[in-house]
């Protein structure tokens, strides 16, 4: 085998060509699945253990020589092609196509604009978070399922560091460093360890809102969300609240809107109920306020959170989450006329 490698290496060193076709034949001869180098690796299992280290190095040297030869010859051919083609004017500007905003960006900006009109500021925070800001401060108990690796991406070298699972961690940082009144929304990208499908993804975007002051009530929360739903989906949009549970709010609720695709009559999008869930909300749990050094006896507040992908699906009648991340120009061009 050692002599065979030397012969191959000598052939590689002496190889030269001026055509792409011959270069491709050279690549196939050595690097394709049935090429000479894969064949050497296949025979490698029959080599005595004492000789494997030396022969392995020789095979890798040959493989690197082939790859370097291909790159070198290809660069030479490309340069000759450009220099001999006098019809190419390299000073001319390239063809360009005016870009458009991504549908998620369009809806994100619209949501921000709606809440900005009623006094909400925009706050941002790190996507790589620690356990305290992502879980502990938000009243997640130690054995909560969200802390398991099947739900959350933890940094392998430090189990206390993770990719944030919600933008509520930004709210914690705001509460730590700001005295009430606080009125802010936190848009951003979040990560969860979920299988990718038409209805779920491991990366998605949220907008979460927080309002803390004296005498804030659930009625204030409902009024804010009524306003938001009608501004985004239209005056005819109906809303309803259903009791729910979240570790960081009490009481908690989920908010549904009348399906804007079927007008509330029932379709496959709303599962023939006439209603579609768009967000979770509730009154901030006193424990969360205390964890952030805010006096829960003096202040109350509400919080809400929604997925931008879900809102965008409803607004533009998109039926597959994966379309947002594929950068298919045919899909994105549909939004060219949208500001």
Q: What is the DSSP string of 56-103?
A: HHHHHHHHHHHHHHHHHHHHHHHHHHHHH-TT--TTSPPP-------H
Is the domain of 245 the same as that of 161? yes
Q: What is the band of 336 on the pLDDT scale with cuts at 50, 70, 90?
A: low
Burial state string for 28-47 with b = 16 or more CB within 10 A and e = fewer than 16: ebbeeeeebbeebeeeeeeb
Is the domain of 135 the same as that of 180? yes
Over 90: is that where the pLDDT of 41 sits? no
Number of domains in the chain: 2
Closest CA to 315 of 236, 250, 232: 232
> What pTM was estimated for this model as a whole?
0.68
pLDDT of amino acid 163? 93
Q: Is residue 90 part of a domain?
A: no
pLDDT of amino acid 165? 92
Is the domain of 188 the same as that of 288? yes
Q: Is residue 96 part of a domain?
A: no
What is the extent of the structural domain holding 67? 2-83
pLDDT of amino acid 196? 85
pLDDT of amino acid 83? 62
Q: Is residue 37 part of a domain?
A: yes
User: For residues 317 and 215, what is the distance between their CA atoms, to the nearest angstrom?
Assistant: 39
CA 85 to chain centre: 43
Which of these three, 23, 52, 83, is where a domain ends?
A: 83
Q: Is residue 95 part of a domain?
A: no
Is the domain of 188 the same as that of 312? yes
pLDDT of amino acid 149? 58
pLDDT of amino acid 148? 67
Q: Is residue 49 part of a domain?
A: yes
Is the domain of 159 the same as that of 286? yes
Is the domain of 219 the same as that of 165? yes
Is the domain of 71 the same as that of 113? no
Is the domain of 140 the same as that of 250? yes
Which of these three, 33, 49, 83, is where a domain ends?
A: 83
User: For residues 148 and 140, what is the distance between their CA atoms, to the nearest angstrom?
Assistant: 12
pLDDT of amino acid 52? 77
> Which domain CATH number covers 260?
3.30.930.10
pLDDT of amino acid 339? 53
Which of these three, 29, 50, 83, is where a domain ends?
A: 83
Over 70: is that where the pLDDT of 55 sits? yes
Q: Is residue 175 part of a domain?
A: yes
CB 258 within 8 A of CB 237: yes
Is the domain of 310 the same as that of 204? yes
Region 31-60 average pLDDT: 82
């Amino acid at each position: 085998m050692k002599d065979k490698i030397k012969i191959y290496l000598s052939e590689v060193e002496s190889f030269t060509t001026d055509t792409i076709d011959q270069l491709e034949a050279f690549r196939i001869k050595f690097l394709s699945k049935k090429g000479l180098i894969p064949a050497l690796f296949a025979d490698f299992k029959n080599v005595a253990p004492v000789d494997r280290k030396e022969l392995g190095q020789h095979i890798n040297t040959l493989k690197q020589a082939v790859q370097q030869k291909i790159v070198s010859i290809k660069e030479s051919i490309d340069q000759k092609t450009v220099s001999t083609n006098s019809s190419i004017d390299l000073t001319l500007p390239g063809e360009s196509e005016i870009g458009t905003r991504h549908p998620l960006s369009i809806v994100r900006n619209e949501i921000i604009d709606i809440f900005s009109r009623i006094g909400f500021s925009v706050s941002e925070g790190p996507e790589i978070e620690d356990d305290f800001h992502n879980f502990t401060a938000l009243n997640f108990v130690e054995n909560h399922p969200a802390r398991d690796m099947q739900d959350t991406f933890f940094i392998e070298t430090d189990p206390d560091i993770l990719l944030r699972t919600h933008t509520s961690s930004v709210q914690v940082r705001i509460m730590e460093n700001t005295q009430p009144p606080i009125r802010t929304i936190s848009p951003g990208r979040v990560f969860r360890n979920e299988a990718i499908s038409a209805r779920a993804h491991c990366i998605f975007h949220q907008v979460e809102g927080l309002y803390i002051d004296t005498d804030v009530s659930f009625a204030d929360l409902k009024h804010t969300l009524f306003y938001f739903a009608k501004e985004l989906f239209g005056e005819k949009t109906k809303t309803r609240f259903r009791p729910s549970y979240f570790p960081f709010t009490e009481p908690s609720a989920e908010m549904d809107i009348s399906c804007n695709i079927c007008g509330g009559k029932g379709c496959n999008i709303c599962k023939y109920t006439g209603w579609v869930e768009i967000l979770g909300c509730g009154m901030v749990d006193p424990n969360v306020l205390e964890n952030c050094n805010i006096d829960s006896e003096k202040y109350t507040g509400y919080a809400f959170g929604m997925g931008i992908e879900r809102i965008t699906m409803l607004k533009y009648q998109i039926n597959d989450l994966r379309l947002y991340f594929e950068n298919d120009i045919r899909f994105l061009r549909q939004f060219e006329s949208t500001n």
